[in-house]
Structures are given as C-alpha cells and as structure tokens.
Amino acid sequence: MLKKLLFIPILFLSLESLAQRYSDTLEVARNYKTILIFPENIAESIIGNDFGFIVDLPKVEGSKFHGRILKLYYDELATEENNYTNHTVITESGQVYDFILELVERPKKFTWYIRPEMAIANIDESKNSLESIPIMSNGIDPGEIASDPEPLSQKNPDPKDDSIDRATRDLYEKDPMEYYRLRCLYMQFDKAKISRYFARLDNVFLWLKGVYYNEDEIYFQFRIENKEGLDLDINFIKYQIATDYRNSSSNQRMELTPVFSFKRPKTVAGKSENHFVVVFKKFALDEKKEVVVELDEESGNRNLSLKIGHEIINNPIHF
C-alpha cells in the first residue's frame, strides 16, 4: 500500500524532471489551441498517446507558412481531468524536437516559436548524444504498467526502430514505394477515426478505421478481428468501385487496384487481430457509387463484404 501511495508523486516528479531536461512542457486545453511554429516545414508528427490529445497537421494548401505550423488541443468530449503524453516532431532537414504535453484548464502560453537550437538530435547527422527518452502514455513509463490488454506486436512502432529515412516530398519523388511504406508504418495502429464502420460474419469482423489523403494517394486503414478460435486463412481481398444498389438497379463493378499494400495478412490467427493499410491513387465517387471490399476465406465460408460510401471516400483525413 505504501508503494502505491508513493508511486504517484514519484511519477509526476520524474515526468517534471524529464520535461526540464529534454523538452519544453506544452500546455494543452479543451477550449484553446496551442500553436507551434517551426523554423522549417514539418515532416513527421508523432504523439505518444492520442487518446484525448489532438494534433492538427499542416494543411495541404494554405499560406507559405502552413507547412511549419502545428495546432494542439484536447478533445472536448474526453473526461480526463489530468493527462500527459510525449510529442515528437521531425522537420524536413531531420531535426528532432521532443515535448511533453500536459492537459490544463487554460494554457499560460498559446503560441510557441520553436528555435533550431531546441532540437535534441538530427536524424541524418546522428547528433543525438542524449540518453533515450522513454515513450510514455498518459505520463506513465510502459515498464510501470502492470497489465496491458494490447499485445506487444500491435504497439504503435517507434520510427527509430525502422528505416531512418523520412517520408518527405523528396523521398516521394525519388522512391514512392518507400514513401508509402513509411507513411503506412507510422499510421497502421492509429486509433480508428471512423466510428463503428465494419462488416461482420459471426465473430469475424472487417473494420474500416480511417481514410486518409496525402500527396496524390488515398490510404485505407483496416483491421481484421477474428474472435473465433479457428484461424482465418485469407484467399484474397478485392477492392471494387460498384454502383450503390440503393440508388440504382445497375450492378456494374470496376476493379480497384492498389499501388501499395502494407502488412496485408495471409492468416489471422484465432482470438487475434491484424491491422493493415492499402494505398490507391486518388479517386472520387459520385453519390451513386461506393467502394466494395471483399474478403474471401480460403477453404472456408467466412467471407466478408464491406461497402464504403462516397461520403467517406470524398472526405478523407489529410495528413
């Protein structure tokens, strides 16, 4: 009991020390936006805990400064009174900036001008001589969490554990496949942006988590959930543009071919789930069309058909 009583003050003390040593603590609130202005365009924004904390990424189009600006705020529907997390930003030159985000009633400072000397490292030049900074969720070191229902294999990957290249415009032009891979890597386990959009057969689910738009491509983020004890062996997953039968008697279908698939599974083990991302060249639908995703089980009848309406396709999330 004594250890439990001592844990909370020690935790917040260590978090405060971390903030002072490695980064500025940015205060974030529900009814205000905290603005970060960087000295150059932003390549990546990685948040440790995106439950409650929201980051508005640079707009695709805007003023000449739009690529340098991030907006932080807290979900007004969330119930937390106290919350912390870490936030890492990487700019186009490879500069790495680390911050601690703290939920408050009203920020003392609304606009932060981020100076180049505030960077803790540069990816290209391997300048970082500081100790590794732990990734925290709600301000808690993962090692302190006694029980975590999410398997380690499903954790949001740390970009430092994979390719050191960044998903920049230059990479997009030189090696689009690697660009897609990095984008998918960073987003595959993100929390669902679309609420309860799924196809179901018994206890097997195909979820649409989000539709995103970047450069000239659309990214579809999926999750297959197999709550049954028997493995789900996948024969194929097809994507088609079809007529919305509610609005037309026509049943024409056109095959939709991905330009890139990331972690598309061959098997989803029993009592497990799989997250994957599929990338298509940009397209739009009229109100009589929809995208149909068909999952066919090999040597089985657990087949799923997920219909995605034009209102979702035509209003993707920009990142």
Is 162 inside any structural domain? no
Last residue of a domain, one of 87, 114, 148: 148
- Whether this model's pTM surpasses 0.75: no
Number of domains in the chain: 2
Is 82 inside any structural domain? yes
Q: What is the CATH number of the domain that holds 131?
A: 2.60.40
Is 276 inside any structural domain? yes
Q: Are residues 228 and 294 in the same domain?
A: yes
Is 90 inside any structural domain? yes
Name the nearest CA neighbour of 280 among 296, 295, 291: 291
Q: Are residues 54 and 134 in the same domain?
A: yes
Look-up of token digits 């003050």? 9
Residue 5, C-beta contacts closer than 8 angstroms, at least 6 positions apart: none
Q: Are residues 144 and 24 in the same domain?
A: yes
Q: Which residues of the chain have pLDDT under 50?
A: 1-23, 126-165
Q: Are residues 209 and 128 in the same domain?
A: no
Is 158 inside any structural domain? no
Is 173 inside any structural domain? no
Q: Are residues 127 and 240 in the same domain?
A: no
Residue range of the domain that includes 19: 13-148
Q: What is the pLDDT of residues 268-301, one digit of tens each?
A: 999 898 999 999 999 999 988 999 999 999 989 9
Q: Are residues 131 and 40 in the same domain?
A: yes
Helix (H) or strand (E) holding 181: helix 176-187
Q: Are residues 209 and 90 in the same domain?
A: no
Q: Are residues 124 and 224 in the same domain?
A: no
Query: What pLDDT shows up at residue 199?
Result: 94
With beta carbons less than 8 A apart as the criterion, state whether 194 and 220 touch. Answer: no
Is 164 inside any structural domain? no
Is 187 inside any structural domain? no
Q: Are residues 205 and 144 in the same domain?
A: no
